[in-house]
Amino acid sequence: MYMVVVFRGGPHRFHEFEEFVDDAGGLVIRKDVFSVNRGSYFLRNELRVLCVVPEAEEEKLKRTARRIKGEVERVSPGPETSEILMACLEVYDTLASTESWIEGEDLPFEGKVLERMLKPSSLNPENRVAQPSTG
């Protein structure tokens, strides 16, 4: 089974985290980069990344995040968001395993998954990562 996680950390060596997620059979859904400032002074850049990874890789994922000075937090998406994520994973899996072009009607999804893209606001508010203040 898969789990939804949010990675928070800096951009330095983030490619190692992305490679781990890809090698583990996961998928980076969304990556946001923002700057933290105090007044007119730049403090740091920070990444917030929404990923779907196999549950069996949770400990390795956390070790990889700690090694690059980041942290991983598991989040609980609502039932509708979870359904969209799983459908996107099926489409991704089909496209990744196919060596040639594939028609849209041959993709394994029902409904309008591609039109209903995941929105960060659809995650449960109690499990969402707090926004840092920039002032």
Q: What pLDDT does residue 108 have? A: 60
Please, are residues 63 and 7 in contact by the beta-carbon 8 Å criterion?
no
Question: What percent of the chain shows pLDDT beyond 90?
Answer: 33
Q: Is residue 135 part of a domain?
A: no
- Residue 3 domain-assigned (yes or no): yes
At residue 89, φ and ψ (nearest 5 deg) are -65, -40
- Res 114 pLDDT > 70: no
Residue with tokens 């789990």: 3
123 is a domain residue:
no
| 42 and 62 housed in the same domain | yes
Domain assignment of residue 28, yes or no = yes
Confidence at residue 78, expressed as pLDDT on a 0 to 100 scale: 82
- Domain that residue 113 falls in: 77-118
pTM, to two decimals: 0.65
What does pLDDT average to over the chain?
78
Q: Give residue 111's pLDDT.
A: 55
User: In terms of domains, do 63 and 3 share one?
Assistant: yes
Number of domains in the chain: 2
Residue with more model confidence, 109 or 2: 2
Pick the closest to residue 53 from 3, 127, 7, 122 (CA basis).
Answer: 3
